[in-house]
Amino acid sequence: MFKRAALFIATNLAVVVLLGIVLSILQGVFGISLGNNGGLLVMALVFGFGGSFISLMMSKWVAKRGTGARVIEQPLNEGEQWLVSTVRRQAEAAGIAMPEVAIYEAPEINAFATGPSRNNSLVAVSTGLLRSMNRDEAEAVLGHEVSHVANGDMVTMALIQGVLNTFVIVLSRVVGRVIDGYLSGNRDGGVGIGYFATVFVLDMVFGLFASMIAMWFSRRREFRADAGGAQLAGRGKMVAALQRLSQTYGENTLPRQVQAFGISGAVGHGLRRLFMSHPPLEERIAALQRLDDRVRTAA
């Protein structure tokens, strides 16, 4: 746990340092002032999209080190050979390049996919999954993760987070200037304590709303990955996998950066549900059953 926390802190510090260097270059070379609207927009774009895309580019590296995942270069046994051949077959069916396949030590039933693109990705399964699921169920989980990659979910979520981050930065500072101007009698130039206090509060408030929106997209994406897993492995296998997943659903030792891309999500009710990256299992199973009903009706 300490290793993962240290890695998370170090990664974010690296992001902040790099973005600070970029902003210094923009200000020094191009003479962009962050006190005007143009400068504010540049700052918002750099911090809003920069952090998201740097995290995306580093996602495989962070996931491997955060989980201690071992990439299967040469299968050591028949089980590992089955994992690699199953992912290869599903990747070909989904039209993507072969992902790296890895195993990581964790007690819960889980798996995740990450990577900067459809053709540069990683699919990893937990040892808890390998112990608890039969091969039909594991095949469906692999199909779910391969579908995340094929759907471009990692890039989509980075784009969505970048847009939301940019809006939060811009709106909080624009509103901060308006409120500060009102409190100070609309003085020209400079900002007062009202600006900084308003920005501090609104960054948190708007950030909460942005998180709700991002998690709504994440839940929609999870339904699509379940449908993709059903298409690659079979609806019955996908339903059985989700039912088996209920044994440890809500337990998640994945690093924060990749938790949204695991097949297992948090359990929550009421307002907490608005911040969940995954829908409840019963809703996911019901959605697969409705999908099957539509297929039979169309046939």
Catalytic positions, written as ranges: 145
- Concatenating the DSSP letter of every residue in the chain gives -HHHHHHHHHHHHHHHHHHHHHHHHHHHHH---TTSHHHHHHHHHHHHHHHHHHHHHTHHHHHHHHHT-EE-SS--SHHHHHHHHHHHHHHHHHT-PPPEEEEE--SSS-EEEEEEETTEEEEEEEHHHHHH--HHHHHHHHHHHHHHHHTTHHHHHHHHHHHHHHHHHHHHHHHHHHHHHHHTTS-SS---HHHHHHHHHHHHHHHHHHHHHHHHHHHHHHHHHHHHHHHHH-HHHHHHHHHHHTTTTT---S-GGGGGGBS------GGGGGG-SS--HHHHHHHHHHHHHHHHHH-
Say what the alpha-carbon torsion angle 116, 119, 121, 123 is, to the nearest 10 degrees. Answer: 150
Contact yes or no for 241/225 (Cβ under 8 A): no
